[in-house]
Structure 1
Amino acid sequence: MPLYEKFLGRSRDDFASLEDLNRNYKVHIHDDFNYGFDVIDVLAEEKPDGLAMMWVGADGEERRFTFRDMSLLSNKAANFFAAKGVKKGDMVMLVLKRGYQFWYTLLGLHKLGAVAIPATHLLTAKDYVYRCNAASVKMLVVTGDNDVTEHVDEALPKCETVELRAVTKGKEVPGWIDYDAELAGMSDVFPRPEGEGKTWAKDMMLMFFTSGTTGYPKMVWHDYTYPLGHLLTGCFWHRVEENGLHFTISDTGWGKALWGKIYGQWLGESAVFTYDFEKFSAPDILGKMEKYRVTTFCAPPTMYRYMIKEDLAKYDLSALRHCTTAGEALNPEVYSQWKNKTGLKIFEGFGQTETTLCCWTAFPWMQPRLGSMGLPAPGWRLTVVDPEGRECPAGVTGEICVRTDEAGGGKPFGLFSGYFRDDELTKKSWHDDLYHTGDTAYKDELGFLWYVGRIDDVIKSSGYRIGPFEVESALMEHPSVLECAVTGVPDPVRGFVVKATVVLAQGYGGSEALTKELQNHVKHSTAPYKYPRIIEYVEELPKTISGKIRRVEIRENDQKKQ
């Protein structure tokens, strides 16, 4: 019996229909639930030799981790942090790419009660200053790859709360702790804390920074029930198999990694496949799927677009049973070609950093409707409302909201607990028993949702979420820029690419040389993937009477040009 049945009280195969699932899906937990102890340690006892993760390095190195390995290593990690003075509630940022250290380090923080903040290795010094100060980060654990330590050290004089820094892979840097070496010397026994150190289901466990359009990144925090929100993700939507091998393509700096590389997959007792590649290559990924016999797979539409360009007949994908996608809308042609070449459908899902999977096309009960987000997932009462909060009729576009009134079941598992240190923003987004997602859609007569766009203009490019404000702020630092607006332009490969519409300061003229200079400036001022691939120079920006930039008009003009 897979462990997830303990929390649902029944097998997923016992649900006779989607109606049955929606009506009877219910998660049962104790008020001191902790994924580290109540899932990983239980799996370590029940199937100690069961494969938890197959990790493959860019150079071909292989590492196999059993559930017992993860249990013992997470105990070592918890003891390491405790020995360094990290306590329950302290903030620890993890910048570990796809390094295997991420998994047991995250679990160790869960057991200790410290708050984990996953972050991308693409951050610059400026990004670290803001994030460390905003969240009062006490410690960072980072990869020895790339130039992460250099960026952190550059930021450190302005980081008011950072006390400790640890680096993996034996990288020797003055002032940095050798994480792997010190972890090896720690005890692999860590008793469940009691008293003041005890963790509770409603305590803060995890925090993400997510891009917005009207300010710096928001701090989204989740409690200890968050992993159980991914019962739907892993066990039902990904359809992971006991003793199978699930592959979600994501860096651990992004929330998608927690959707597809740990919580729901291990609740379903499937191993996860982690390939620590440097640059995506469709032939390389397909070769790994063939070699390691991947059984379930999830990737953003961008990557499927690259993969269908390959001769899929060259690869033995016979072990593959189920495919999913999220992050952006799936192109019907991609769906059709993948199905024609593999015989497998691609099931879409929708969610945010603030949620887990809340809208889906669910195997085996639903035929994917090309272009649709699907139906609300069990436990998630989604509604589409107008600006006054009234439910929109079928076919009318409105904002997707989550109902959270107690009479209807309250806050669903996986919904965030608020924006850290920003009660005003929390109340603005979540009021009158409605959490406002900021995404717009319309419902059809059957209840399927059809995505329209993001209210706050966040750009989704190759699976990344990019907030225009950060890019605009970087551009405005350049002396040639008087004002600017950043929008997304549809792209057949990346979904959208970042475009900057720029008004130049007096004495400057638009040129290819200036475009290159501005692009490089953004790459050095913020995470490089955010730079504008298109820059258009104009005399003035379209604005409202009150002086606000009308990005919608820019997008409309771009569509007319296509």
Structure 2
Amino acid sequence: MGSRPILKNTSLFHFLFCFCLSCCLSVSFRYLLDLKSSDVIWSTSDTGWIKAALCAFFTPWLYGACVFVHRMSQFDTDIFLDTLSTYPITTLCSTPTVYRMLVQKDLKRYKFKKLQHCVTGGEPLNPEVLEQWKTQTGLDLHEAYGQTETGVICASGRGDKIKPGSMGKPVPPQDVQIIDENGHTLPPGKEGDIAVRLTSTRPFYLFSKYEDNPEKTAAVMRGNFYLTGDRGVMDSDGYFWFVGRADDVIITSGYRIGPFEVENALMEHPAVVETAVVSSPDPVRGEVVKAFVVLSAPFKSSYPEELILELQAHVKKSTAPYKYPRKVEFVQQLPKTPTGKIKRDLLRDREWGRT
């Protein structure tokens, strides 16, 4: 299903469907989770995500690890942190939004005696959050990137060098590339579509089609590649960097702007607890960058006009003058899925009058 409210209904062709799928997909998660029989893993993913099936069931089952389950009626940071420090949890798997909420607390008050490995995925992880988590807990945050259709395709595994803001490197046997509109691979540093090569190295657990939807299946294929629907860049070391969903990229006055870069810049400012950047209609430029911002407590009494100018100036300085949010709206909270993933599509639809 994924994080959207519509079943993807993907089809995977292989014998002994459930067992083979679990075993093979768990190989890719083995690289990320590095579980042992002595580990206790807590995954907070909703059961509609493939990450829940693999982090909280198949992978621990395959490697003999223990699964910790705690159902909260609603997310509470204090209960979460008390739980993490009380029980012998060695591996934590949660969304970037959860980690963003946790680093707002004084984590040094808590002793995570058993916690050794922290994993995140489902949406991009802001470098600022990674650094705050590392500073307060002494633990690295390992990011993974994947989909229901593919399993994990990129990750920063345990022992890997972590580049803040990067999704890591391709997970064997995945052959991940950045390609152009003609299906040609692009060199390091060039933005394009994130795609998985289908020939020679295609993992047999990669989905084969969307059931009863040949048009959608055809739309995600380009030559010998499966299109993830995301835009990104690969650096000279082979690390992949997320730019945005193909339909999230903002085109204003001829410039292409990835919302994640703007969000990262805003998160550097002490006034910002959370933010989501989307396109907003503009009569002159077609569309412009708009930022929805949740303010930290010390800044809630600030003059909004002055703070908006300050945030805009900060983004100009951190990125480029044309990337700053021309519209800024302060909100009490951002719309999220039950597991804390920000619903940017809902914010975008509201801006464009589609809801």
- TM-score, normalised to structure 2, is 0.68
Q: Which protein is bigger by CA-based radius of gyration?
A: 1
- Structure-1 residue corresponding to 2:86: 291
Alignment of 1:468-483 (within 5 A): none
Determine helix, strand or coil for the equivalent of 1:347: strand
Alignment of 1:95-134 (within 5 A): none
> Aligned to 1:383, which of 174, 177, 189?
177
The answer to whether residue 31 in structure 2 is matched with residue 236 in structure 1 is yes
1:326–1:291 distance in 2 versus 1, CA, 3 Å: same
Preserved contact between residue 442 and residue 449 of structure 1 (Cα < 8 Å):
yes
Note the C-alpha offset of 1:456.
Answer: 3.0
Determine helix, strand or coil for the equivalent of 2:11: strand
1:500–1:257 distance in 2 versus 1, CA, 3 Å: farther
Q: How far apart, in 2, do the equivalents of 1:245 and 1:439 lie?
A: 33
Q: How far apart, in 2, do the equivalents of 1:352 and 1:264 lie?
A: 16
- Structure-1 residue corresponding to 2:108: 313
Q: How far apart, in 1, do the equivalents of 2:130 and 2:213 lie?
A: 40
The answer to whether residue 213 in structure 2 is matched with residue 416 in structure 1 is no
Q: How far apart, in 1, do the equivalents of 2:67 and 2:29 lie?
A: 11
- Structure-1 residue corresponding to 2:247: 456
Q: How far apart, in 2, do the equivalents of 1:210 and 1:323 lie?
A: 21
Note the C-alpha offset of 1:316.
Answer: 2.1
- Structure-2 residue corresponding to 1:496: 276
Note the C-alpha offset of 1:424.
Answer: 2.5
Note the C-alpha offset of 1:234.
Answer: 4.0
Alignment of 1:272-421 (within 5 A): 272-364=67-159, 366-405=160-199, 408-409=200-201, 411-421=202-212
Determine helix, strand or coil for the equivalent of 1:276: coil
- Structure-2 residue corresponding to 1:220: 10
Letter of the 1:430 partner, please give it: M
Determine helix, strand or coil for the equivalent of 1:327: coil
Note the C-alpha offset of 1:232.
Answer: 3.7
What is the RMSD computed on CA atoms of the aligned residues?
A: 3.4
Determine helix, strand or coil for the equivalent of 1:384: strand
Give the structure, 1 or 2, with the largest relative contact order (CA under 8 Å, sep 6 or more): 2
Preserved contact between residue 144 and residue 154 of structure 2 (Cα < 8 Å):
yes
Preserved contact between residue 233 and residue 259 of structure 1 (Cα < 8 Å):
no
Note the C-alpha offset of 1:420.
Answer: 0.8
Q: How far apart, in 1, do the equivalents of 2:351 and 2:191 lie?
A: 33
> Aligned to 2:229, which of 426, 434, 438?
438
1:374–1:535 distance in 2 versus 1, CA, 3 Å: closer
Q: How far apart, in 1, do the equivalents of 2:176 and 2:166 lie?
A: 15
Note the C-alpha offset of 1:399.
Answer: 0.6
Letter of the 2:179 partner, please give it: V
Note the C-alpha offset of 1:209.
Answer: 6.3
Q: How far apart, in 2, do the equivalents of 1:259 and 1:452 lie?
A: 26
Preserved contact between residue 228 and residue 414 of structure 1 (Cα < 8 Å):
no
1:233–1:338 distance in 2 versus 1, CA, 3 Å: farther
1:401–1:532 distance in 2 versus 1, CA, 3 Å: closer
- Structure-2 residue corresponding to 1:123: none
1:352–1:369 distance in 2 versus 1, CA, 3 Å: same
Q: How far apart, in 2, do the equivalents of 1:493 and 1:385 lie?
A: 34
Aligned sequence identity (%): 33
Note the C-alpha offset of 1:413.
Answer: 4.6
Preserved contact between residue 2 and residue 147 of structure 2 (Cα < 8 Å):
no
Preserved contact between residue 502 and residue 537 of structure 1 (Cα < 8 Å):
no
Letter of the 2:64 partner, please give it: E
**Structure 2 gap segments, 5+ residues each:** 251-258, 284-334, 337-341
Note the C-alpha offset of 1:414.
Answer: 3.7
1:209–1:351 distance in 2 versus 1, CA, 3 Å: closer
Note the C-alpha offset of 1:347.
Answer: 0.9
Letter of the 1:321 partner, please give it: Q
Determine helix, strand or coil for the equivalent of 2:207: coil
Determine helix, strand or coil for the equivalent of 1:368: coil
Q: How far apart, in 1, do the equivalents of 2:245 and 2:206 lie?
A: 19
Note the C-alpha offset of 1:326.
Answer: 0.8
- TM-score, normalised to structure 1, is 0.44
Q: How far apart, in 1, do the equivalents of 2:28 and 2:42 lie?
A: 13
1:262-317, CA deviations, whole angstroms, 9 ceiling, x for partnerless residues? 11121121111111111111111111112221000111111111111222222220
**Structure 1 gap segments, 5+ residues each:** 1-207, 460-486, 504-521, 524-528, 542-548, 550-562
Preserved contact between residue 384 and residue 400 of structure 1 (Cα < 8 Å):
yes
Determine helix, strand or coil for the equivalent of 1:288: helix
Determine helix, strand or coil for the equivalent of 1:275: coil
Note the C-alpha offset of 1:226.
Answer: 2.5
Letter of the 1:389 partner, please give it: G
Tell me how many residue pairs correspond in the alignment.
Answer: 276
- Structure-1 residue corresponding to 2:218: 427
Q: How far apart, in 2, do the equivalents of 1:311 and 1:276 lie?
A: 24
The answer to whether residue 31 in structure 2 is matched with residue 251 in structure 1 is no
Determine helix, strand or coil for the equivalent of 1:437: strand
- Structure-1 residue corresponding to 2:330: none
